[in-house]
Structure 1
Amino acid sequence: MCWKIVMHLTSMVFLMAGSFISGIYAVLKIYSNMVEVVEWEILSLNSCSIVFTLIFDWVSLLFLCFVLLISSSVLYYSGGYMSSDKYFNRFMYLVLMFVFSMAAMVMSPNLISILLGWDGLGLVSYALVIYYSNEKSANAGMLTILSNRVGDVAILLSIGLMVKLGGWNFLYYTYSMSDGQWLKFNFLIVLAAMTKSAQIPFSAWLPAAMAAPTPVSALVHSSTLVTAGVYLVIRFNPILESSYAQSVLLIISCLTMFMAGLGANFEYDLKKIIALSTLSQLGVMLSILALGFSDLAFFHLLSHALFKALLFMCAGVFIHGSGDYQDIRFMGCLAKFMPLSVAYMSICNLALCGFPFLAGFYSKDLILEVVYMSWVNLICLCLYVLAVGFTVAYTIRLIFYSMSGEFNLNLLINVKDTDNLMTDPMVMLGLGAIIGGACLSWLMFPEPCMICMSEFMKSSTIVVMVIGGLIGYFCNLLNVNNGLMSLKNYFWVVFTGSMWFMPILSAMKNSEVMVKAGGLMEKVGDKGWLEYFGPQGLYWKLAQLFMIFNEFQVNKVKIYMKMFVLGLLVVLFMYM
């Protein structure tokens, strides 16, 4: 036990120190408006040189500050949550490798070194998802890593396309890659971001990755794995401007935002509800990126990371204290037993909904106003408005089932906030969820801007939020009082609650089709035409040919006699 405490305390101290240093450095870069690029030439062969590059600008340093800050809180939190785990040290090393891979990706402007961090995230995330050695975790880990491999292939193809520029440092080639000739490159970058950030049709792996321990979920959904795709598009945003790839990204991200918000209203797993809310917010970030506002997307990325990590920590405390139940129907009335965790949870939920003057308000309200002023089509605008209403609806539903309502625990166990290792790191993130949005707003947008809108457009956001909250509340009352109502529309409930059958199409049906296709290829190919025209057929033909040559080499008289008679017949036929 002593080694475990030293392990997570040491990790927290070093990561906190790194976060403080990078935060101070980021503020200096913002006010000095400078960028530093450091290069080490590892190997040079003829005209090809392998260079390790680091970039120190305000974007990378500020994001690294938040990654290290949240990681330090999560590692300290893990000391309480994973205290009874037999392989605690292995878990801590895996999480540290995860953080190091994210830092390597954030600090790199080189596409090859980005691939190293990108692949590191995928590999370590697979090891963390399958940490609990059971069949469900193994299936979830396989779905996660196979979905992310599509993005890895897209990055590899992007590296191949950049060869003709003479280097892979995209900061030097931004303006030469902005024309129509680089449309394939733009689509590959967007595809890589879509897989890592779980946009349609790659959304199935994100709820499946909830098989990992809760501290990993807090880290993945706040500042590491799923935000890597958003960060990649932020870096390549000058290249993607006025491209067809941006239009595709806008439509897909709006659909993902709508699908995740709708599906969260039909989900009962606590962690999956929060995962679907993350998916919805990722759709918000990528959609505003597709409109060309990279700084605003980065602002929402940072503010979202603060309260989303705290949200998963509170969920872990609820699960840990209620007998390892994740179904919100087996919770209820937790506000009387765990007031501290419920207070933090309420702050996170209000910040997620965009409650005034909390962290999520400054970014979400500004994003909605920018969308209202942009030349966006009516379908995307309606999806935005509906997603805002769905966010409030599933938040009210989560509060109704878990924190308030009736006491639904199976056993009268001692549910309370007793583990200081799990509640202490919430203080810093809770403070960030309250004032983090305002501080980031003052830091990133020091010059005020005037947004002029009509009274109807300005008040529409608040009206949609109130309507969404009322609908969520009354639907919860109907569901509790008459639990069989959902059976009348069973197909639509399953359709919306299962993310439009995407997990089935991504895993079960896809695997079934691939197995059948593989069997058909083996039957027709390996054991069919390839057997006849392939190596075995070639071997058989060559063996026959060598047998003929062997007959000539044994000097048999009958062979020469046959050849002589055949030649004589040919000569006679020619002179006849």
Structure 2
Amino acid sequence: MRFLWRARRRIRPRIDVLGDRSEAAVETAGWEGYAGLVLVLPLVGAVVAGLQRGRRADAAAGIFGTAALVALVALINAALGAPGEGRLIAEWDVLSWLGGRAGAAGFLVDGLTLLMLIVVLVIGLLVVLFSADYLSPDNREHATTDTKGRYYFWLMLFIFSMAGLAMAPNLLQMFVFWELTTVCSWALIAHYDTQRAVAAGYKALVLTSVGGLCFLLALLLIYQVTPDFRFAALGALPEGRAMAVLFLLLLAAWAKAAQLPLYTWLPDAMEAPTPISAYLHAAAMVKAAVFLMARVIFEGYGFLPGLKATFSLGYGPVVVSAHGLGLFMSVAALATMLVAVYLYFAQDDLKRLLAYSTIAHLAYMLFGLGLALAGVWLGMIAALIHLIAHGFAKTTLFLSVGSVAHRTGTRKISALGGLVGAMPLTALAFTVAAFALVGVPPLACFWSKFALFGAIVGLGGATGVVLLLPFALETIIAFLWFVRVSQKVFLGEPSVAAGQAEEAPSLMQGVLAVLVVLCLVGPALALPFLPPQP
């Protein structure tokens, strides 16, 4: 077995995933070093923080999280300053024994990568800072002893795995980090080590592993034809095999994004510490599914719209097209949205309510990507804007709930009321984030929802009408329900729990204040990185 660790920076022709367009990988001095720092710093932070206790663990995680974000700023500067489309590629031949290009590893940095890294690292740092005061003996919901070392080890490893996934230049490397996110989520969901937490962790591990198995099968189908896992290799597959790979990757995304019928693990995962729930829902794990499909559809946009395959079944040949698969993807996402919003009504736990909301909003993103696969590029733009807008809004909601539970000892909607007097900043943050989530203008998710409506209209015909009506219905119901919940929890007569409450510690308040601003400007951060239609 030979391992060749020497970096080979190339300017070479490159065929994009499933596409017929070619471009050159661009050399920009030093960018690989910045990309390496973005990847390695969270990993080093995991080790260092994992060996610390108490405030030293807080400091270690915060320092390395901040350093990774600084490295990301440098990487963004390098990418935006690159000529052409600013698409940066560096590859190393690491596993040459696999043959061909199958063993290549390295970095792919473009607008899609940078958009995902902003979500991963900005929200990751805010969650780390919030956790410093959340994990304490003063927490009335979960008074913790000193488990911070273990907690930060898995959280920083989670950030590392998501950064690696975002920068992966091929499907094999993406799969490795994909599976690492599954392991990290299992450990963090089970962090409190109660019977329910352990069971929830194993449930998440089992159900999301269904997606991992589908991903692995897709890799095997590719490897049977060509020893090359670069996204470009998909375009070299026979049409039937390419369609099978595309469908398997979609199944992997469904499992990871908690879509029907594999959605039950995500509400149960609310046994995790609330900052972990925030990161899991807003930036990691479930967002990996959206990123996978966005990457595949973006890279293959020159090839996918015309892809058709004929499968011989017992009753005759069946023709399957990428356009039809895109519509199927959108309809399945729409069904998930409607089931999730229906389940809102049965929830008394604020975190479980937010979990079903996450399921619905992941469906929004997959809905938009399905429209893109069906030929409406605006669906891709809407999905990517929603990825970042939902990330900031959902982080704000979860951390607001964490503040409430930290001070009152409960997350039950029925036990809360009148908290605005005792926790005004938390009330403001929750309300702004709730309005942002349901699409009240000019807050974050308004812009992505507006684009989704535009994409549906762009689809046109009876199909567009059929998709538009239930999508609009879900939006209206979600708006009314979140208004009701906000009123119940923060307005009216103070409940017994509210009478004992006070505002969250200052660092937690500071994080919420930053997130309120991001609920306003989040979509603007996405604009420089939105990919043009290929």
What TM bracket, shorter-length normalisation? 0.7 to 0.9
Structure-2 residue corresponding to 1:350: 435
- Partner of 1:373: helix, strand, or coil? helix
Determine whether 1:287 maps to 2:358: no
- Partner of 2:103: helix, strand, or coil? strand
Q: Amino acid of the residue matched to residue 179 of structure 2?
A: D
CA distance in structure 2 between the aligned counterparts of 1:192 and 1:54, rounded to whole angstroms: 22
Determine whether 1:116 maps to 2:176: yes
Query: What is the aligned counterpart of 1:13 among 66, 69, 76?
Result: 66
Q: Amino acid of the residue matched to residue 112 of structure 1?
A: L
Q: Amino acid of the residue matched to residue 92 of structure 2?
A: W
CA distance in structure 1 between the aligned counterparts of 2:72 and 2:513, rounded to whole angstroms: 17
- Structure 1 range deviating more: 20-29 or 348-357: 20-29
Cα distance 1:240–1:389, how it changes in 2: closer, same or farther (>3 A)? farther
Q: Amino acid of the residue matched to residue 233 of structure 1?
A: M
Whether the 8 Å contact between 1:101 and 1:120 is mirrored in structure 2 is yes
Structure-2 residue corresponding to 1:95: 155
Determine whether 1:70 maps to 2:123: yes
Determine whether 1:419 maps to 2:499: no
Determine whether 1:268 maps to 2:348: yes
Structure of higher RCO (CA pairs closer than 8 Å, 6+ residues apart): 2
Whether the 8 Å contact between 1:222 and 1:308 is mirrored in structure 2 is yes
Per-residue deviation, 1:284 = 0.8
CA distance in structure 2 between the aligned counterparts of 1:411 and 1:346, rounded to whole angstroms: 17
Per-residue deviation, 1:423 = 1.3
Query: What is the CA deviation profile of residues 265-307 of structure 1, one whole-angstrom value per residue up to 9, with x for unaligned ones?
Result: 3311100111111111111110111111323211211121111
Whether the 8 Å contact between 2:385 and 2:526 is mirrored in structure 1 is yes
Query: What is the CA deviation profile of residues 29-59 of structure 1, one whole-angstrom value per residue up to 9, with x for unaligned ones?
Result: 6x84131211111242384562212101111
Per-residue deviation, 1:206 = 0.9
Q: TM-score, normalised by structure 2?
A: 0.79
Per-residue deviation, 1:142 = 1.6
Structure-1 residue corresponding to 2:482: 395
Query: What is the CA deviation profile of residues 535-575 of structure 1, one whole-angstrom value per residue up to 9, with x for unaligned ones?
Result: xxxxxxxxxxxxxxxxxxxxxxxxxxxxxxxxxxxxxxxxx
What is the number of residues matched between the two proteins?
A: 444
Whether the 8 Å contact between 1:249 and 1:287 is mirrored in structure 2 is yes
Determine whether 1:50 maps to 2:110: no
Determine whether 1:257 maps to 2:343: no
CA distance in structure 1 between the aligned counterparts of 2:79 and 2:416, rounded to whole angstroms: 43
Determine whether 1:372 maps to 2:452: no
Determine whether 1:186 maps to 2:271: no
Query: What is the CA deviation profile of residues 469-527 of structure 1, one whole-angstrom value per residue up to 9, with x for unaligned ones?
Result: xxxxxxxxxxxxxxxxxxxxxxxxxxxxxxxxxxxxxxxxxxxxxxxxxxxxxxxxxxx
Query: What is the CA deviation profile of residues 7-35 of structure 1, one whole-angstrom value per residue up to 9, with x for unaligned ones?
Result: 34323422332342344345446x84131
Cα distance 1:166–1:179, how it changes in 2: closer, same or farther (>3 A)? closer
- Partner of 2:292: helix, strand, or coil? helix
Structure-1 residue corresponding to 2:27: none
Determine whether 1:218 maps to 2:278: yes
Q: TM-score, normalised by structure 1?
A: 0.73
Whether the 8 Å contact between 2:382 and 2:449 is mirrored in structure 1 is no
Whether the 8 Å contact between 1:218 and 1:308 is mirrored in structure 2 is yes
CA distance in structure 2 between the aligned counterparts of 1:94 and 1:8, rounded to whole angstroms: 11
Whether the 8 Å contact between 2:119 and 2:388 is mirrored in structure 1 is yes
Structure-2 residue corresponding to 1:233: 293
Cα distance 1:263–1:418, how it changes in 2: closer, same or farther (>3 A)? closer
Query: What is the CA deviation profile of residues 327-386 of structure 1, one whole-angstrom value per residue up to 9, with x for unaligned ones?
Result: 111111111111111111111011112111111111111211221331335443222011
CA distance in structure 1 between the aligned counterparts of 2:490 and 2:68, rounded to whole angstroms: 33
CA distance in structure 1 between the aligned counterparts of 2:424 and 2:238, rounded to whole angstroms: 54
Whether the 8 Å contact between 1:307 and 1:351 is mirrored in structure 2 is yes
Report the aligned-residue RMSD. 2.2
Query: What is the aligned counterpart of 2:393 among 307, 317, 322?
Result: 307
Structure-1 residue corresponding to 2:207: 147
Whether the 8 Å contact between 1:254 and 1:384 is mirrored in structure 2 is yes
Cα distance 1:130–1:445, how it changes in 2: closer, same or farther (>3 A)? closer
Q: Amino acid of the residue matched to residue 403 of structure 1?
A: F
- Partner of 1:132: helix, strand, or coil? coil
Q: Amino acid of the residue matched to residue 387 of structure 1?
A: E
Query: What is the aligned counterpart of 1:169 among 217, 229, 234?
Result: 229
Give the alignment of 1:402-441 within 5 angstroms.
Answer: 402-410=489-497, 412-413=499-500, 415-441=501-527
CA distance in structure 1 between the aligned counterparts of 2:76 and 2:351, rounded to whole angstroms: 30
Which runs of 5 or more residues in structure 1 are unaligned? 448-576
Whether the 8 Å contact between 1:112 and 1:168 is mirrored in structure 2 is no
Whether the 8 Å contact between 1:357 and 1:438 is mirrored in structure 2 is no
Cα distance 1:363–1:22, how it changes in 2: closer, same or farther (>3 A)? farther
CA distance in structure 2 between the aligned counterparts of 1:104 and 1:210, rounded to whole angstroms: 25
Q: Amino acid of the residue matched to residue 264 of structure 1?
A: Y
Give the alignment of 1:315-354 within 5 angstroms.
Answer: 315-323=401-409, 325-354=410-439
CA distance in structure 1 between the aligned counterparts of 2:440 and 2:383, rounded to whole angstroms: 19
- Partner of 2:355: helix, strand, or coil? helix
CA distance in structure 1 between the aligned counterparts of 2:99 and 2:68, rounded to whole angstroms: 39
Structure-2 residue corresponding to 1:460: none
Aligned-pair identity (%):
26
CA distance in structure 1 between the aligned counterparts of 2:479 and 2:382, rounded to whole angstroms: 22
Structure-2 residue corresponding to 1:521: none
CA distance in structure 2 between the aligned counterparts of 1:180 and 1:43, rounded to whole angstroms: 28
Whether the 8 Å contact between 2:171 and 2:230 is mirrored in structure 1 is yes
Per-residue deviation, 1:240 = 5.3
CA distance in structure 1 between the aligned counterparts of 2:58 and 2:203, rounded to whole angstroms: 34
Structure-2 residue corresponding to 1:80: 133
Q: Amino acid of the residue matched to residue 420 of structure 1?
A: S
CA distance in structure 1 between the aligned counterparts of 2:228 and 2:456, rounded to whole angstroms: 34
Whether the 8 Å contact between 2:55 and 2:132 is mirrored in structure 1 is no
Determine whether 1:277 maps to 2:337: no
Structure-2 residue corresponding to 1:363: 448
| Larger-Rg structure | 1
Q: Amino acid of the residue matched to residue 444 of structure 2?
A: A
Query: What is the CA deviation profile of residues 92-151 of structure 1, one whole-angstrom value per residue up to 9, with x for unaligned ones?
Result: 111001111111111112121111111101111111111111111122112111101111
Per-residue deviation, 1:446 = 9.8
Per-residue deviation, 1:174 = 4.5
Per-residue deviation, 1:210 = 0.6
- Partner of 2:90: helix, strand, or coil? strand
Cα distance 1:22–1:272, how it changes in 2: closer, same or farther (>3 A)? farther
Q: Amino acid of the residue matched to residue 39 of structure 1?
A: E
Cα distance 1:46–1:8, how it changes in 2: closer, same or farther (>3 A)? closer
